[in-house]
Amino acid sequence: MRVFLTGATGFIGSRVVPELLKAGHDVLGLTRSDAGAQALQAAGADVHRGTLEDLDSLRAGAAQADAVLHTAFDHDFANFVANCEKDRRVITALGETLKGSDRPLIITSGVGMGALQPGQVATEEVFDTQSHHPRAASEQAGEALLQQGVNVSVVRLPQVHDTQKQGLITPYIAQCLAQGQVAYVGEGGNRWSAAHVGDVARLYALALAHAQPGLRHNAVAEEGVSMRAMAEVIGAGLGLPVVSVRGEAIAAHFGWMAMFADADMIASSAITCARLGWTPTGPTILEDLRAMDYTQVAAHG
């Protein structure tokens, strides 16, 4: 198949490209820059110039493809709500281009969309269509397209990591450097699910191979790692004190990250593993955090 891949030069998408090529697909990768175009060509992919803001460029890319994988997302978390709404518009534009065919559209969401109550283990079978969580916009857009007959499925992400990036942990580390301490909320018992970026890339390729309307896949290798455990590893790496923050101090300390800092974002991938034959084999998030070069992190902080 010819696959149009958004986010093709990003942290996850750049790992998806070789997985798709290895599976025998042709890849048409979205990029906005000359450097991105060169990277895609070097990887063996074709180049499509465009941006998430230019919906016509996205429609043109999707029109050339047998399938669309949407891994791009604007990770400016200080503008999280606006960027989630932008993702809704992007998904709608991609899906409308595929309407009237069986060409798969695989979109990206977060594992938190699979839990109806805080602290509940998120599963693939659950989606609260009335959720007020900003990231629900992506799956709401997908649900609307499903009702129009588009072959939409979803890959839900936890904290995706290697020794360079770790999802929300990356801006968290930058915040720790700026404040001179590594903080967690209360006892630090809230947990975040995680998976290595290489395992996640393989899952996208499997999701395409098994694409069926309405399927949801949880890209989860670790169901939940405590915030305190991660904070202690980061504190040791940065040489900073590790402290607990409580009550009214939480919002002041964490800023925009306060909405995530005490969230219990645990998730299961049992259904995904059984359905796709996916077996995560990469390092754990604590292993990658221990293996980071914190001198480089500090130098660029």
pLDDT tens track for 94-121:
999 999 999 999 999 999 999 988 788 9
Q: At what angle do helices 13-22 and 197-209 cross, to 10 degrees?
A: 50
Domains plus CATH for the chain?
A: 2-157+196-220 (3.40.50.720), 161-193+223-268+281-299 (3.90.25)
Give the separation between CA 126 and CA 112, rounded to whole angstroms: 10
The pLDDT, as a whole number, for residue 144 is: 97
pLDDT digits (tens, 9 = 90+) for 116-161: 887 889 999 999 887 888 999 999 999 999 999 999 999 999 999 9
Give the pLDDT score at 131.
80
Counting residues of the chain whose pLDDT is more than 70, the rounded percentage is 99
Q: What is the pLDDT of residue 301?
A: 58
pLDDT of residue 300: 65
**Dist CA 188 CA 263 (whole Å):** 10
Q: How far is 225 from 274, CA to CA, in rounded Å?
A: 22
- Is residue 291 within 8 Å of 283, Cβ to Cβ? yes
The DSSP call for residue 32 is: S
| Residue 102: predicted pLDDT | 96
Q: State the pTM of this model.
A: 0.95
- 163: pLDDT strictly greater than 90: yes
Mean pLDDT of the chain: 95
- Is the Cβ–Cβ distance between 124 and 273 less than 8 Å? no
pLDDT above 90 as % of the chain: 89
| Bridge partner residues of 183 (DSSP) | 243
Q: Rounded to whole angstroms, what are the CA distances from 41 to 25, 36, 57?
A: 15, 9, 19
pLDDT at 202 over 70: yes
Sign of CA dihedral 195, 15, 79, 70: negative
Query: For residue 104, which amino acid is it?
Result: P
Q: What is the DSSP letter of 120?
A: P
Residue 67: which residues within 8 A CB-CB, separation 6 or more?
A: 1, 2, 3, 4, 103, 104, 105, 106, 208, 211
- The answer, yes or no, to whether residue 274 has pLDDT greater than 90, is yes
Beta bridge partners of 151: 104
Q: What is the pLDDT of residue 122?
A: 94
* CB within 8 Å of 220: residues ≥ 6 apart: 111, 158, 193, 194, 195, 267, 268, 269, 272
Q: Tell me what the mean pLDDT of segment 258-279 comes to.
A: 95
What local confidence, expressed as pLDDT, does residue 299 receive? 66
Return d(Cα 225, Cα 57) in angstroms, integer. 39
Query: Closest by alpha carbon to 169, among 238, 71, 247, 117?
Result: 238
Strand partners, 161: 166, 196
CA–CA distance, 207 with 162 (Å, rounded to integer): 21
Return left, alpha or beta for 86; rule: phi > 0 is left, psi -120 to 50 is alpha, else beta.
Answer: alpha
Q: What is the pLDDT of residue 173?
A: 95
